Each structure stands twice: as structure tokens, then as C-alpha cells.
Amino acid sequence: MQATPRRARPTEAFLIALFSLLAVLVLAAFQFGDNNGLNNMPFAQVQRLVSDLPKAQKMASDGNLELLAGKPVPGESRTLRGELTDANCFLTTHTHAYDHAFCAKFCAAAGSPLVFASDQGGLVYVVLPARNGVELPGRALDLIGVPGIVLRGRTLGADGVRSFAVESVQP
């Protein structure tokens, strides 16, 4: 004799349908990803938002995106002596110091990343601001290309790359 499949009672069928509907509603309410197309925004448009961090944070939140801007960079607190210079010239021709200061400032103003060549151990660090999405201290930018400056900040590394998050320029 073959067993007949058991049919759900109306109460069970109702409960299954109700839980399924609730699951769909919960998933629909919790949307994933870029809800407002922010990831496709042109760079120049995003760049204008840098001066209005609260607006950018609200846009990211409304778009269901995480914006790390404004959050402090972790790492080991350090004071280093050396020179800030642009990465393009330093890494390609090892050009730096006073004779190169104007060029380094020009390249940095155009968007070239900065590196910090430390006097201690000859280590070179990619320069980061102390908080994500916030500019470096203006005094540090004025000292690009000046050997022997002392900066306070945090060192950290990832995947073999050393970085230095600049907090302040020491007198």
C-alpha cells in the first residue's frame, strides 16, 4: 500500500504563508548596497562633498553605504623626523629636498600622493590624514620638500605597505 502524502491543515498553511510574507517584508525593509547610485557618482561631484562631511555622511546613510570619512586612523603613535614629498618624483627618480619643494607641492596639489621619507632607518611611508576623508594639516602641506621636519601621528601597515597618518607638525 502506498502512503498518501499528508496535506497541511488550513491552520498550518496559514502560518507558513504568514511567516513567508513576514520574511519577505523583513528582507525588503533591509536593503543591501547602493540604494541611491552614489557609487556611480563622478569624482568631481564627490570631491565637492569633501567640504561638507555631514552632508556626505547623510547621503551615504540614506544610500545604505558605509562612509569611513571622519573616523580616526588606527595605528601605533609615533613621532618621526624626515621629509614629506610627492610619491611620483621620489619613487621614480628619488628626487626630493629643497631643490624639489616647488615641484613636490605642485604635484601634490594636482593629486599625487605624498610619502614621508624618515630619517630614522630610511623607511618610506605612504602619508595618510589622521582621520579618513579629512585633509592633512595645512602646516604639514606647507612643509612639503623641507628636510628634517618632525611629525606626530600613527604608523600602520597592510600587505607590506607602511603608512603614516599625520596628526600634527612638531615645532
| Mean pLDDT for the stretch of residues 85-92 | 87
Q: Is the pLDDT of residue 25 over 60?
A: no
Residue-level length of the chain: 171
Distance CA 86, CA 160 (A): 20
| Mean pLDDT for the stretch of residues 102-131 | 90
Residue (of 134, 118, 114) closest to 79 by Cα position: 118
Give the sign of the dihedral formed by CA 75, CA 76, CA 80, CA 82.
negative
- Residue 78 has a pLDDT of 93
Give the start-to-end residue ranges of the domains of the chain.
11-67, 76-170
Could you tell me where the beta strands, DSSP code E, fall in the chain? Answer: 76-86, 114-118, 124-129, 149-158, 161-170
pLDDT digits (tens, 9 = 90+) for 46-59: 888 888 888 888 88
Distance CA 87, CA 107 (A): 9
- Residue 13 has a pLDDT of 66
Confidence of residue 64 (pLDDT cuts 50, 70, 90): confident
For the whole prediction, is pTM greater than 0.75? no
